[in-house]
Chain A
Amino acid sequence: MKRACLLVGMTLAIACNRGPATTSTTGKPTVALVLKTLNHPFFVDMRRGAQEAADRLGVTLQVQAAEREIDVEKQMQIVENLIQTGVQALCITPSGSREIVSALVKAKDAGVPIIVVDTRVDAKAAADAGVRTETFVGSDNYEGGRLAGDFLVKVTGGKAHVGILEGIPGHETGDSRLRGFRDAVKSAPGITIVASQPANWERDQGFNVFQNMLQAHQDIDSVFACSDLMALGAIEAIAAAGRRGKIKVVGFDALDDAKKAIAAGTMEASVAQFPAEMGRAAVESAVKVMRGEKLPPDINVKLDLVTRDNVK
C-alpha cells in the first residue's frame, strides 16, 4: 500500500511539469476582482458594474470574496490562489488596509498590477513593503462623512445630541467617514456627540448597540451610522423604544432598504455611493494598465446625498 502511495505521488509530481498558462481557456485576458464579501448589496452592485465593463471590453472577470467581510487571512489566500491562475490584473477591495499589504507583495512579485477599490491601502505599510498600486478607485469617504454632518447641522438647526454607530474599528472606510462627520459638526457648537460606538457594519449589532445607547442617553435625538445596515438596525431600535419620529437617522451607502426608509420618513438621509460605477472604473483601469496606459493616482467616484426631496 505504501508503494501504491509513492507511485501516485510520483505520477502527480511528473504531472507538475505542465506549465501554468497565462490566459484563461477562452484566450481572453483575465482580470480578478477580489471583494470583501458578496453578502452585502454594495459589493453585489460593484460586481455587476465590473461584469458589464468586462463584457464590453472583452476580458474575462474572475470575482472572488471571503465568506466574511473581516476575514483578511481568507482574502489573502484568495489573492495567492488567483495569482496561481496567472491573472493579468488584480482589482481588490482590501478587508484590512494594512494587513492586505502582505498579499499585495505577492501580487507585485508575480508582476500582477494592482488596482485598489473602495478602501485605501495604508500608504506607509505599502511603501515599506515596496508595493506600488496603479490607482485607487473609490469615493472620498471623508467627504461623504462631511456631507452627512453638514446635512445634520442643517436639519437640526445646529442643535442636537448625536449618537454615532461606527464600523469595525481600524477600518479606513469607517474611520474616514467618522472623521468627516465629526469635522463637519464641529462647526456647530450646539451639536454634542453623546455616544460613539462600533456596531461592526452589521444590522443586528446596529440594533443592539443603539438600543443600549438609548438606555444610557435618553437625550439622543440624532444618529449618524457609518453604514446603512447599522442605520436600519438603529431604526428598528427606535421603533422598539416607541420613539419613532423623534430621532433623526442619517446613514451611508443609500441601500434600497434605506431609500425606502427615507421615503417612508423613518430615516432622514443617506450618503449615496455608486458601487457599480466603482466596479466599472476598476475594470476599465485594469484594461488600461494591461495596454500599458498610465493612470492617475486617484479615480474619484462621485458621492451624493439622498434625502426625502430627491429619493426615488
Chain B
Amino acid sequence: MTIAHRAQMTAAAAPRGQLLLPARQFGTLIGLVALCAVLWILTPHFLTVSNLLNVAEQTSINAIVAVGMTFVILSGGIDLSVGSLVALAGVVLGTGLQSGQPLPLALALALAAGLACGLGNGALISWGGLPPFIVTLGTMSIARGAALLFTEGRPISGFDESFRVLATGRAGFVPAPVVAMAVVYAAAHFVLSRTTFGRYVYAIGGNEEATRLSGVPVRFHKTIIYGVSGLMSATAAVILTARLNSAQPIAGMMYELDAIAATVIGGTSLMGGDGNLGGTLVGALIMGVLRNGLNLLGVSSFLQQIVIGGVIIVAVLLDTVLKRKNRT
C-alpha cells in the first residue's frame, strides 16, 4: 500500500506532492492491519509467507475487476455487467484457444470482447441517456446469455501449459496473478492520477453538468470509462480461466457485488467524484483476508457470509465517521 494516492480530488484542485494515503483511506488500511493482527493471534496458519501469497493470489481476480468498478463509481455510475463480462470474455478466450488460435490472438480477442461490451455499455449510457444501473443490468443478462448460448452451457476446459502459466507461473516467488494485479494497479493508478482522462473521471463524478459546460467531451469520456471496466473484466477472465484451466459460461456470478464491496470498503463514494485505487486494493484485500481467515479458523460457511456482510457495513460506517471528522 505504498502507492501514491493523490488524485482523490476533482479536476479543480488536487494538491501536488501529497504522497501518503489520505486520512479516510488510512481508516481502511488500519482495518486491514487490525484484521491481520487478529487472525495472527487466532491461528498460526495465517501469517506465513505461503498463506499471504495465497491470499494475494485469491484476491487478484476481484481486485482487478474492482479497478474497472472504481473508475465507473468515481464517475458517478455503476457497472453490474462485470461478472457476466468475465464469463463472456473467458468463453471467447477458451474457444479461441481450443480452436487452435495462437495465444496472443486468443488473448487479444478476449480483451477486445470485454472492451467492446464495456464501450457498448458506455455508449448506451452517454448517448442513449439511459441510467447506468439499467443499461448494465441489461448487458449483465445479455452477456451471460451469450456466453451460455455460445458454449451450449458447457465449460471449455483443458488448455496448454503455455497459457496456464498466466495463473500457475511465478516471478521469483510471487504468483503470476499477483504480478498481473500489481501491473494493473500501477497502470490504472497512473491513468487516474496523472492523465487528463483521469482528471475527467473525477470531474464527471463530482459534477457532470459543470464538467460538460467547461467544454469537456463528457459523453466520449464516459464511454471510455465503461470500456475500461469491460477491459478489466476481460483481464480478470484471463486469470480466472488460466487458474481453473476452464472457461465456464457460469463463471463470475456475483462478481459485481464483490467488486462494488471492495470499492466502497476502500472509501470510494457511491455518489462519485471521491475515492482512489489504493483504497480499492485495500478493500479487496480485506475481503480476501477475511474469507481466507474464516476458512483457516474453520468457521461455518453460513457464518462467513454474515461476518463478511457485517464487515462491509462497519468499514463504510467507520469511513463515514472519519470523513466527517476530517471535514470539521
- Are the CB atoms of A170 and B154 closer together than 8 Å? yes
Number of A positions contacting B (CB below 8 A): 46
A71: chain B residues within 8 A (beta carbon): 253
Selected contact of A76 from candidates B33, B36, B244, CB within 8 Å: B244
Output the nearest chain B residue to A198 by Cβ-Cβ distance: B153
Q: Determine whether the beta carbon of A70 is less than 8 Å from that of B246.
A: no
Within the complex, the shortest CB–CB distance from A122 to chain B, in Å, comes to 8
CB pair B248 A1 closer than 8 Å: no
A215: which B residues are within 8 A, CB to CB? Answer: none
Cα-based distance from A198 to B249 in the complex (angstroms) = 14
Interface check A72, CB cutoff 8 A: yes
Determine if B141 is an interface residue (Cβ-Cβ < 8 Å).
Answer: no
- Of A2, A67, A84, A198, the most chain B CB neighbours within 10 A belong to A84
Assess whether A64 is in contact with B244, with CB atoms less than 8 Å apart: no
- Please report which residues of chain B, range 238-261, place their CB below 8 angstroms from some CB of chain A when the two chains form the complex: 240, 243-246, 248, 250-251, 253-254
Q: Which of B44-52, B128-136, B191-199, B266-274 is near enough to bind chain A? A: B44-52
Closest Cβ–Cβ distance, residue A27 to chain B (whole Å): 14
A15 on the interface (CB 8 Å rule)? yes
How many angstroms from the CA of A71 to the CA of B61 in the assembled complex? 14
Contact of A96 among B37, B248, B296 (CB under 8 A): B248
Contact indicator A84/B296 (Cβ below 8 Å)? yes
Provide the residues of chain A in CB contact with B250, threshold 8 Å.
Answer: 70, 168
Chain B hits for A2, CB < 8 A: 2, 19-20
Chain A interface SS verdict (over half)? mixed
Kindly state whether residue A212 has any CB partner on chain B within 8 Å.
no
| B contact residues, total (Cβ < 8 Å) | 52
> In whole angstroms, what is the CA distance A1 to B298 when docked?
35
CB pair B44–A128 under 8 Å, yes or no, is no
**In the complex, A189 has a CB within 8 A of chain B:** no
Question: Closest CB of chain A to B145's CB: distance in Å?
Answer: 14
Contact A8 B33 (CB under 8 A): yes
Contact A12 B36 (CB under 8 A): yes
Tell me whether B173 is interfacial, beta carbon within 8 Å.
Answer: no
Contacts of A67 in B (CB 8 A): 301, 304-305
Interface centre among A19, A65, A73, A124 (most CB of B within 10 A): A73
In the complex the two chains form, is B253's CB within 8 Å of A102's CB? Answer: no
When chains A and B are docked, how far (Å) is the Cα of A58 from the Cα of B246? 38
B29 at the interface (CB under 8 A from A): yes
0/1 per residue, A85-123, Cβ < 8 Å to B? 110000000001011011000000000000000000010
A192 interface residue (CB < 8 Å to B): no
Q: Which of A121-136 contact B (CB under 8 A)?
A: 122, 124-125, 128-129
Cross-chain contact B33 with A81 (CB below 8 angstroms): no
Contact A84 B54 (CB under 8 A): yes
B252: min CB distance to chain A, Å: 9
Asked whether, in the complex, the Cβ of A125 is within 8 Å of the Cβ of B245, the reply is yes
A66's closest neighbor in chain B, by CB?
Answer: B301
Q: How far is it, in angstroms, between the C-alpha of A237 and the C-alpha of B101 when the chains are bound?
A: 46
Between A and B, 10 residue pairs with Cβ closer than 8 Å are A1-B21, A16-B48, A19-B44, A66-B301, A67-B305, A72-B244, A72-B248, A82-B295, A125-B157, A169-B152
Chain A contact residues, CB within 8 Å of chain B:
1-2, 5, 8, 12, 15-16, 18-21, 38, 62-68, 70-73, 76-78, 80-82, 84-86, 96, 98-99, 101-102, 122, 124-125, 128-129, 168-170, 198
Q: Which residues of chain B have a CB within 8 Å of any CB of chain A?
A: 1-2, 19-21, 26, 29, 33, 36-37, 40, 43-45, 47-52, 54, 57-58, 61, 152-155, 157-158, 167-168, 240, 243-246, 248, 250-251, 253-254, 291-292, 295-296, 298, 300-302, 304-305
Q: What 8 new A-B contacts, CB under 8 Å, besides A20-B45, A64-B295, A125-B157? A: A2-B20, A20-B50, A80-B57, A84-B51, A99-B155, A101-B245, A102-B243, A124-B158
